[in-house]
Amino acid sequence: MARFYEQHGRRPSRAAGLAVAVAMTAGSAVMLTAPAAHAEVIDVNYQCKTPIGSKGAVSPIDIKSTPSGGAYKLVMSFQKGVSSSPVELGKGAMKPSALIQLGGAESGTVPVAGPPNDQAIPANTPIKISDLSGTYTPKGSGKVTFTASTLTIKALGTTTTCTPSNHPKPSLSLDVKGSGGASGSTGGSATGGASADGQLPQTGPADSAVALGTLGGTVLLAGAAGALWLTRRHQRV
């Protein structure tokens, strides 16, 4: 490169050189930065236990997350129906809900639910599940995975339970940082008989000193009042 500039009689400006260095540094930083979240659409083979027998269907499942303070809003989407009804389901007759299985740095499930159907569902047609949403609050820190789990459909007084049978892969993974406490726990000081950690107020030397000081002041005032009463009595006599 230096020989090229010598042959052509031109030297690169210092500003141009700095610009190239900055661009190369920025490119390296982008390449070294790992994504904090990864999501993909996963086919889930649901086997459903319905009031009229067993049914099954495969639906691609998508789980997305949106940070909200110290928590994440989860949205679980179904691209295909997973069951059907022998009779028409009128508007608002079907209510879906599901569980999302946690893995990696966390364990347990996150419940998600959706609104009732906004349109009538004809008989013997796939039931399209609306988007299901819920809130996940990290308890610890690390990579957490989210996998579609049990789906529940309530309609016309009946309950249909659908369970994944193909051991699906996670639809979402997140690098989270939690507070280390249980979800939903509250802090702050307590008032009344117990403190925030459930213990009764301590009565140590400091409390005893305050109590003795108060008692001593009361005795001193009583003695002064008695002396004043005796002095006035002798004056009247």
Note the pLDDT tens digit of each residue in 198-211: 333 333 344 443 33
The yes-or-no verdict on residue 99 having pLDDT over 80 is yes
Cα–Cα dist 55/187, whole Å: 47
Query: Which range is least confidently modeled, 23-27, 88-92, 167-171, 186-190?
Result: 186-190
pTM of the model: 0.61
Q: What pLDDT was estimated at residue 173? A: 96
pLDDT at 22: 41
The secondary structure of 132-195, three-state, reads EEEEECCCCCEEEEEEEEEEEEEECCEEEEEEECCCCCCCEEEEECCCCCCCCCCCCCCCCCCC
- Which pLDDT belongs to residue 112? 98
Lowest mean pLDDT of 30-34, 46-50, 195-199, name the range.
195-199
pLDDT at 24 over 70: no
For residue 20, the model assigns a pLDDT of 41
Q: Which of 9-18, 71-80, 187-196 has the highest mean pLDDT?
A: 71-80
Who contacts 87 (Cβ-Cβ below 8 Å, separation ≥6)?
Answer: 123, 156
Please state, in angstroms and as integers, the Cα–Cα distance from residue 206 to each residue in 18, 190, 227, following that order.
66, 20, 32
Give the model's pLDDT for residue 53: 85
CB 46 within 8 A of CB 151: yes
* Range scoring the smallest mean pLDDT among 46-50, 136-140, 217-221: 217-221
pLDDT score, position 71: 95
pLDDT at 176: 93
pLDDT at 191 over 60: no
Residue whose tokens read 């010598």: 6
* Mean pLDDT across 32-54: 80
Q: With a cut of 70, say whether residue 29 has pLDDT above it.
A: no
